Amino acid sequence: MVMPLALLEKTVDKRISLLLKDSRVLEGKLTGYDEYMNMVLDETVERTAAQEERRLGTVVLRGNNVVSISLL
Amino acid sequence: MVMPLALLEKTVDKRISLLLKDSRVLEGKLTGYDEYMNMVLDETVERTAAQEERRLGTVVLRGNNVVSISLL
Amino acid sequence: MVMPLALLEKTVDKRISLLLKDSRVLEGKLTGYDEYMNMVLDETVERTAAQEERRLGTVVLRGNNVVSISLL
Amino acid sequence: MVMPLALLEKTVDKRISLLLKDSRVLEGKLTGYDEYMNMVLDETVERTAAQEERRLGTVVLRGNNVVSISLL
Amino acid sequence: MVMPLALLEKTVDKRISLLLKDSRVLEGKLTGYDEYMNMVLDETVERTAAQEERRLGTVVLRGNNVVSISLL
Amino acid sequence: MVMPLALLEKTVDKRISLLLKDSRVLEGKLTGYDEYMNMVLDETVERTAAQEERRLGTVVLRGNNVVSISLL
């Protein structure tokens, strides 16, 4: 069995894609997380539905507003 | 009585269908979960209302955004 | 005083109706629950606003997305 | 200071009005609650925006989907 | 550093304005709160977008549905 | 690894931008936070989609309604 947090642990310093509750998609390098799935992303980019990009730099995300996390 | 997490335990390595809070439906093989119902899915496919499919690979899901889980 | 979980306990193996946060209504036999009000329903039927029915079989529900529970 | 749960305690067996997260308004007699503000209502009536009434009987409510509670 | 709950403590018996998750704005005198930011307001008034007022009296609010709290 | 709360700690007394669940954007000086990511902001300004500004002064924010936090 693969525990969700164990998979996050293996993903540190790799780029991930996050789907947020408000339908935004963020991509960035995972630099940290905690037991609530709060996360820190570096070099974060927001992709809009129109495939535009917005650079957000370093972002702290609250875990409960993250729907899903995919590896890139 | 069937405890919810006990049913998830029996579902590991089987395919499930998830309804998310944002109305998306994901199907995949459950490879792990924790006490908050955070889950890891492999070979994940998103099905849209128009019955299109989008392949998402390995996905970590935060439990609070999962509405319901069905066995396939 | 009637504790909410004590009422659920008395409802095991009976049919209930659930209103979910996304306005869907599910009916099914409650076969289990836990302290977070996560639930397992058997013979689950979803009723849409148009009074259509969709059979869902066995479903695990995450408690935080359940608004209210009524006995049938 | 009036603690929120202490006020609920004094409200047991009285009629209250609940505003839910999905904008529904329920009125009923509070017969029980727990530390998460999960509640049991008896003789529950739902009032719609059009001032129609729907009788729901005994209902278990999950606290996180209750926005506010008023005494009647 | 100003801890959020310490600021609430200093606000007891003062009037505050609350923004709720459903975009409603409530004003009232804070008479109590707990560690989850559940609150009791007295002399509560709801202000709508059209600047209408609705008197709600004493209200218990569940903390997770409160977005932000401002002093008046 | 950078823990999310450790990054908040380093941000105390600096200006941050918050995206809330209801799509509002707040900017202010972080004067405190707790383990749930509840926060206190001073000199808070709300920026609307039309780039208008509304001054809100000191605001307490409940962590679960904060989607993401960026340094300014």
Banded model confidence at residue F9, pLDDT cuts 50, 70, 90? very high
| Separation CA D28–CA B14 (nearest Å) | 43
Better-predicted residue by pLDDT, C18 or E23: C18
Which residue range forms the structural domain that includes residue E53? 4-71
The average pLDDT across C37-52 equals 90
Three-state DSSP class for D12? Answer: coil
pLDDT by residue, tens only, chain B of 72 residues? 999 999 999 999 999 999 999 889 999 999 999 999 999 999 999 987 777 889 999 999 999 999 999 988
Is residue E47 within 8 A of residue E25, CB to CB? The reply is yes
Residue B22 lies in a domain: no
Select the residue of A33, A40, A65 nearest F21 (Cβ to Cβ).
Answer: A65
Banded model confidence at residue C22, pLDDT cuts 50, 70, 90? confident
Banded model confidence at residue A28, pLDDT cuts 50, 70, 90? very high
Is residue F21 within 8 A of residue A21, CB to CB? The reply is yes
Residue located via tokens 């007699």: D29
From chain C, the residues in CB contact with B67 under 8 A are 20-22, 24, 61-62, 65
Residues from B in contact with C at Cβ < 8 Å: 1-8, 21, 23, 37, 63-64, 66-71
Residue F72 lies in a domain: no
Partner chains of D (3+ C-beta pairs under 8 Å): C, E
Residue located via tokens 């902001």: F41
Residue F55 lies in a domain: yes
DSSP string of C18-61, one letter each residue? EEETTS-EEEEEEEEE-TT--EEEEEEEEE-TT--EEEEEEEEE
Is residue F55 within 8 A of residue F42, CB to CB? The reply is no
pLDDT given for residue C52 in this prediction: 84
Residue F51 has pLDDT above 80, yes or no: no
CA distance A47 to chain B (A): 17
Where does chain E have alpha helices with state H? 4-11
The residue among E19, E35, E40 with the most chain D CBs within 10 A of its CB, best to mutate, is E40
Q: What angle do CA A46, A50, A51 make, to 5 degrees?
A: 50
Instruction: Locate the chain F residue with the closest alpha carbon to E38.
Output: F62
The residue among D38, D44, D54 with the most chain C CBs within 10 A of its CB, best to mutate, is D38
The residue among B33, B35, B37, B40 with the most chain A CBs within 10 A of its CB, best to mutate, is B40
Q: What is the CATH number of the domain that holds D65?
A: 2.30.30.100
pLDDT digits (tens, 9 = 90+) for D16-66: 999 999 889 999 999 999 999 999 999 999 987 777 889 999 999 999 999
Are D37 and E39 inside 8 Å of each other by CB?
no
Partner chains of B (3+ C-beta pairs under 8 Å): A, C
CA distance D17 to chain E (A): 10
Residue F17 lies in a domain: yes
Nearest to D25, CA basis, from D16, D14, D38: D16
Phi, psi (rounded to 5 degrees) for E10: -75, -10
Are B67 and C40 inside 8 Å of each other by CB?
no
Which one-letter DSSP state was computed for residue F64? G
Residues from B in contact with A at Cβ < 8 Å: 12, 20-22, 24, 26, 31-34, 38-40, 56-62, 64-65
Instruction: Locate the chain B residue with the closest alpha carbon to C62.
Output: B67
Residue A71 lies in a domain: no
Residue A70 lies in a domain: no
Are D32 and C8 inside 8 Å of each other by CB?
no
Nearest to E22, CA basis, from E59, E66, E62: E66
Measure CA F7 to chain center.
13
Number of domains in chain D: 1
| Separation CA B38–CA A34 (nearest Å) | 14
The residue among C33, C37, C42, C62 with the most chain B CBs within 10 A of its CB, best to mutate, is C62
Select the residue of E24, E40, E61 nearest D2 (Cβ to Cβ).
Answer: E40
The average pLDDT across A1-22 equals 95
Where does chain F have alpha helices with state H? 4-11
Residue D72 has pLDDT above 90, yes or no: no
Q: Which two tokens stand for residue A72?
A: 């890139």
Residue F38 lies in a domain: yes
Banded model confidence at residue A3, pLDDT cuts 50, 70, 90? very high
Select the residue of E6, E23, E68 nearest F61 (Cβ to Cβ).
Answer: E68
